[in-house]
Structure 1
Amino acid sequence: MFIGSEIYRRSTYGAVHPLAIPRVSTVIDLCRAMGWFAPGQYRTSPRARPAALRAFHTPDYIAALQQAEAEQAVSEETRARHGLGTLPNPVFAEMYRRPATAAGGSLLAAELVARGHRVFNPGGGTHHGFADRAGGFCYLNDPVLAILALQRLGCARVAYVDIDAHHCDGVASAFQGSQTVRMISIHEARRWPFTGALEDDAGGAALNLPVARDLNDSAYALILDRLILPAVAGFRPDAVVLQCGADAVAEDPLSRLALSNCAHRDTVRALAALCPRLLVLGGGGYNPWSVARAWTGVWATLSGAEIPDRLPPEAEAVLRALSWQRQRHAPRPETWFTTLADAPRPGPIPSGLRTDLARLEQRLRAEV
């Protein structure tokens, strides 16, 4: 199942914000151009009601977010207390409805996953939201809401895998000390929000792997095989949630990692083989072509569609119609318009990564 909404097409965080780019709408358009939505596969995301959001978020915060949207302004007190009306989390026209739609999509996805489906909600993945505060472009935390919903629906043990370039601080905070949620986060070291140290287990079953800049496909394949897959399999989850932020792809302006989008598809494929109940979310990603190509490829992998070597004209036209004010004079490789799958980006494996993996493997062995 693919969960989408037209709200992503007509809303924006503002002209100069990193999210002032089309993302989910382009993925929807590409999938339609490719004929990759079979009857019944596309579901329109509902908007989560405040009562559903209160499973994690405080009533005061939800009320403040709704009031900020209605008034298109916040007081200094609200800004200080709830992180609204800031540069990363500005006031904009749909600042409550858009994240509530993403949350509603993830809650619907949890219901479908609990029934045994595999679901992609690219509008989700807002992993920096806290119970009482916005953070890092995230007003609500739909991964937390989805995990809590899965547990209420009988999936007692949930593995949460996060391959976004930025550490999932909101999710880590929500499940501090948990033994029923295994969080595995692969993120760039010394990158905002500067959390998720190797030694940090969030007081429970969490595994954090900060990686050095220029992480390549060879190094990521080692992480997938030696850490992610054994940690998920050993946890014996009833469901898996994957946050696959596209900002770990080489061309992203807000990280310095060097993955191809092969890493995202490989991760989806491997986790789907481990667990029939899989929820895949979007997340970060600030180059419109990289995001659209990565997440459309994720849907192809999840749905069993074959990615062609060259896109048909209808899909190519979707990519050629995109623009990007942030780097409007930078050259655009032709492959951004004509393909979905990147060429692999292999490279050397740093010795420090092997050392860090060995330390985490030792932790896993101690759990047995």
Structure 2
Amino acid sequence: MKPVFIGSEIYRGSSYGAAHPLHIPRVSTVMDMVRALGWLGPGQYRTSPRAKPVALTGFHTPDYIAALERAEAAQAVDEVAFKRHALGTTANPVFPEMFRRPATGAGGVMLAAQLVAEGGVVHVPGGGTHHAMADRANGFCYLNDPVLCLLALRRLGLSRIAYVDIDAHHADGVEAALGADDDMLLISVHEENRWPYTGKLTDTGGGRSTNLPVPRGFNDTEMGHVLHRLILPLLAQFDPQAVVLQCGSDAILEDPLSRLALSNNAHAEVALALRDLSQRFVVLGGGGYNPWSVARCWTRVWGALNGHGAGAELPAPAQDILAALTWNRRGPAWQVQPHWASTLNDPPRPGPVRPELADRVAYLRKRAGLARAVHLAPSIARA
């Protein structure tokens, strides 16, 4: 069965506000790109349903869901919603679709779980909001759709479910919800000393959680080291029945909310490697605050999952989509680069595997009792 792409028109024109990092278009650009490239065959696109409030209370508290609905309807929050539920803050502002948009992402990931029940691959770029807590918004995230996806997979009767998160920020909401559960393996690779300042190397979440804080400048070679020396061996040891990848693009060099240095080659390589480890594979979006890098990354991941190469120059319709994007960032670090509109693949960003990273991986391998690495096919970046 061909991979399935889940999207929605709710993302088109929906924004957290002009001053917020999520004022940029993301999912709608990916939808436009995959169509312009001819990468959606018959039956591959599904419109995301909007999750009903009762479905959301499978994780979130009824009081919180009610407060979120009221805030959208009134376009304002009361003191309880602000103080107890963190709604109407700078990070989690009031905006017109503040309930419907995250509820659509949640509906998409729960549909993804159903679609992979008998095996398959599903990409939900509108998912990946991994910071939300059961009773409050957190870190731009109103609902925790990764948790809702994992719980939906559990309801299918699966007893070994793996969650891998390569977003630049620690998956604190997922770990708080499911980190102590024996049927879940949670792996988070994130920048050290970066908000939310959780996910220390020694943290286990009370269960199988593996946290790898990585240093600034984390490069493609180092991600390859982490993938083959840690992530794949941990998954092989756990033997998951389903794998969920949170594929946040904010670890890419040009993203303004991290100081990591990956290319999108790393994301494509991780996605393909994880896909080959389980018959049920769900890929979510996540962070990503440069409109070109996030759109190119998630489009490229979808292409890789469908066997499409990314090295050639994009056709004119796809280039036009990327050329039309705008950004309010100023300064030399954020100037638009020619390849942002001409091709999907970033230049590879290799580098040394620094001793501090190698030592952290070795510590986690020893803690998990891993004896050997797992080596798969060559990197997609070299294909």
Residues 366, 289 of structure 1: alpha-carbon distance in 2 compared, 3 angstrom cutoff: closer
2:147 maps to 144
The equivalent position to 2:338 in structure 1, one of 334, 337, 345, is: 334
1:51 maps to 54
The equivalent position to 1:349 in structure 2, one of 349, 353, 362, is: 353
Structure 1, unpaired ranges of 5+: none
Q: How does 1:207-218 map to 2 (within 5 A)?
A: 207-218=210-221
Deviation at 1:45, TM superposition (A): 0.2
Q: Check conservation: 1:114, 1:155, Cα contact below 8 A.
A: no
CA distance in 2, matches of 1:73, 1:96: 13
The equivalent position to 1:222 in structure 2, one of 222, 225, 243, is: 225
- Percent same amino acid at aligned positions? 60
The equivalent position to 1:42 in structure 2, one of 40, 45, 48, is: 45
Normalised TM-score (structure 2): 0.94
Deviation at 1:364, TM superposition (A): 1.4
Q: Is 2:105 aligned against 1:119?
A: no
Q: Check conservation: 1:3, 1:121, Cα contact below 8 A.
A: yes
1:179 maps to 182
Q: Is 2:365 aligned against 1:361?
A: yes
Deviation at 1:156, TM superposition (A): 1.7
After superposition, the C-alpha distances for 1:305-353 in whole angstroms (9 at most, x for unaligned) are 2324100001000000000013388421100000001111001111011
Q: Which secondary structure does the structure 2 equivalent of 1:325 belong to?
A: coil
Q: Which secondary structure does the structure 2 equivalent of 1:109 belong to?
A: helix
Q: Which secondary structure does the structure 2 equivalent of 1:19 belong to?
A: helix
Q: How does 1:90-169 map to 2 (within 5 A)?
A: 90-169=93-172
Q: Check conservation: 2:130, 2:144, Cα contact below 8 A.
A: yes
CA distance in 1, matches of 2:240, 2:57: 25
Deviation at 1:111, TM superposition (A): 0.3
Q: How does 1:73-92 map to 2 (within 5 A)?
A: 73-92=76-95
Normalised TM-score (structure 1): 0.98
Q: Check conservation: 1:114, 1:154, Cα contact below 8 A.
A: no
Deviation at 1:367, TM superposition (A): 11
CA distance in 2, matches of 1:48, 1:327: 38
CA distance in 1, matches of 2:149, 2:118: 14
Q: Which secondary structure does the structure 2 equivalent of 1:304 belong to?
A: coil
CA distance in 1, matches of 2:260, 2:94: 30
1:240 maps to 243
Q: How many residue pairs get matched?
A: 368
CA distance in 2, matches of 1:308, 1:264: 15
After superposition, the C-alpha distances for 1:277-329 in whole angstroms (9 at most, x for unaligned) are 10000000000000000000000011222324100001000000000013388
268-277 or 37-46: bigger deviation? 268-277
1:60 maps to 63
Q: Check conservation: 1:79, 1:86, Cα contact below 8 A.
A: yes
Moved segments of 4+, more than 4 Å: none
Residues 212, 308 of structure 1: alpha-carbon distance in 2 compared, 3 angstrom cutoff: closer
CA distance in 1, matches of 2:296, 2:179: 34
Q: Is 2:306 aligned against 1:300?
A: no
After superposition, the C-alpha distances for 1:18-64 in whole angstroms (9 at most, x for unaligned) are 00000000000000000000000000000000111011000000000
Calculate the aligned-residue CA RMSD, in Å: 1.3
Aligned AA (2:347): A
After superposition, the C-alpha distances for 1:185-216 in whole angstroms (9 at most, x for unaligned) are 00000000000000001010010000000000
After superposition, the C-alpha distances for 1:233-279 in whole angstroms (9 at most, x for unaligned) are 11111100000000000000000000000010000110111112100
After superposition, the C-alpha distances for 1:125-148 in whole angstroms (9 at most, x for unaligned) are 000000000000000000000000
Q: Is 2:260 aligned against 1:257?
A: yes
Residues 176, 274 of structure 1: alpha-carbon distance in 2 compared, 3 angstrom cutoff: closer
Deviation at 1:76, TM superposition (A): 1.8
